[in-house]
């Protein structure tokens, strides 16, 4: 049985004071049994978050990493550096990286390879635009992104895949539970065709305006194993409600 996983992607948000307050709220009370929880702050806040979470069950990840382990790459952060800090996860291929930084499937694949080599667990994001969905291309686009990022990887045992329909990220729109399940089923079928991937063991997360009031219906779907949460992860009460929905 796949353990449920809820990951908070804080994006480019937070100050030292706001993070202290947020984690004080998130870490108060008992951990929810059966659900794994992680948060992914900005690079500059990683040491603070790692220190605050050290005595808890909450794990920590980064929002991206370089495709190289070291060298003359000004402004980049190597996956080995993240692992040395104590990070467990790294989000790769997020649609905002693709949109604002022109990241290709080939670049995502290179990042996946070095992240795994460094001992990090990649959370690989895939998702279609509204135009692609309306054109009936959603499954083809998502399958191509997945194969582009994962084909030929040395090891995929620690892989997590997050389906984030681009049209639902930060828009308030959310795929229906049925739409999300249909795509997660497609992703699991696609994983069956990728060497080294364990389709039945790989956890698939849904992302895209996940909130407390829709989380339980999403988590009830057979191929949805948790969520990659954006805006709601910045509010302790909202994020805890989503975590509770995963355990319900």
Catalytic residue among 45, 94, 103, 128: 94
**Active-site annotation holds for 131:** no
**Active-site annotation holds for 45:** no
| Tokens at 220, concatenated | 């009830």
| Tokens at 74, concatenated | 């000004």
Per the CB < 8 A criterion, the answer to whether 243 and 32 are in contact is: yes
Catalytic residue among 96, 128, 164, 184: 164
CA 235 to chain centre: 18
Token pair 């892989």 in the structure block, residue: 159
Per the CB < 8 A criterion, the answer to whether 190 and 197 are in contact is: no
How do strand 160-163 and strand 59-62 relate by DSSP bridges? unpaired
| Tokens at 144, concatenated | 């191509």
Per the CB < 8 A criterion, the answer to whether 60 and 49 are in contact is: yes
Per the CB < 8 A criterion, the answer to whether 176 and 219 are in contact is: no
Count the Cβ atoms, other than its own, within 10 Å of residue 212. 17
Which regions of 159-240 does DSSP assign to beta strands (E)?
160-163, 203-207, 226-229
Question: Which residues are catalytic, by number?
Answer: 94, 164
């Amino acid at each position: 049985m796949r353990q449920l996983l809820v990951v908070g992607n804080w994006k480019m948000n937070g100050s030292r004071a706001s993070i202290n307050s947020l984690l004080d709220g998130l870490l108060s009370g008992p951990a929810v049994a059966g659900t794994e929880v992680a948060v992914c702050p900005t690079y500059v806040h990683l040491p603070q978050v790692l220190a605050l979470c050290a005595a808890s069950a909450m794990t920590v990840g980064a929002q991206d990493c370089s495709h190289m382990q070291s060298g003359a790459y000004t402004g980049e952060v190597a996956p080995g550096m993240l692992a040395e800090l104590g990070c467990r996860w790294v989000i790769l291929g997020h649609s905002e990286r693709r949109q604002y930084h022109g990241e290709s499937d080939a670049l995502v694949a290179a990042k996946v390879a070095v992240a795994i080599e460094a001992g990090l667990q990649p959370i690989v994001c895939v998702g279609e635009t509204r135009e692609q969905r309306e054109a009936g291309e959603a499954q083809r686009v998502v399958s191509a992104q997945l194969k582009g990022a994962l084909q030929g990887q040395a090891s995929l045992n620690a892989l997590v895949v997050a389906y984030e329909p681009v049209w639902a990220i930060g828009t308030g729109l959310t795929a229906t539970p049925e739409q999300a399940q249909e795509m997660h089923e497609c992703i699991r079928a696609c994983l069956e065709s990728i060497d080294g991937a364990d389709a039945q063991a790989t956890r698939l997360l849904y992302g895209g305006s996940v909130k407390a009031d829709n989380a339980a219906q999403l988590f009830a779907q057979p191929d949805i194993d948790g969520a990659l949460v954006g805006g709601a992860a910045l509010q302790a009460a909202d994020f805890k409600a989503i975590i509770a929905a995963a355990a319900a």
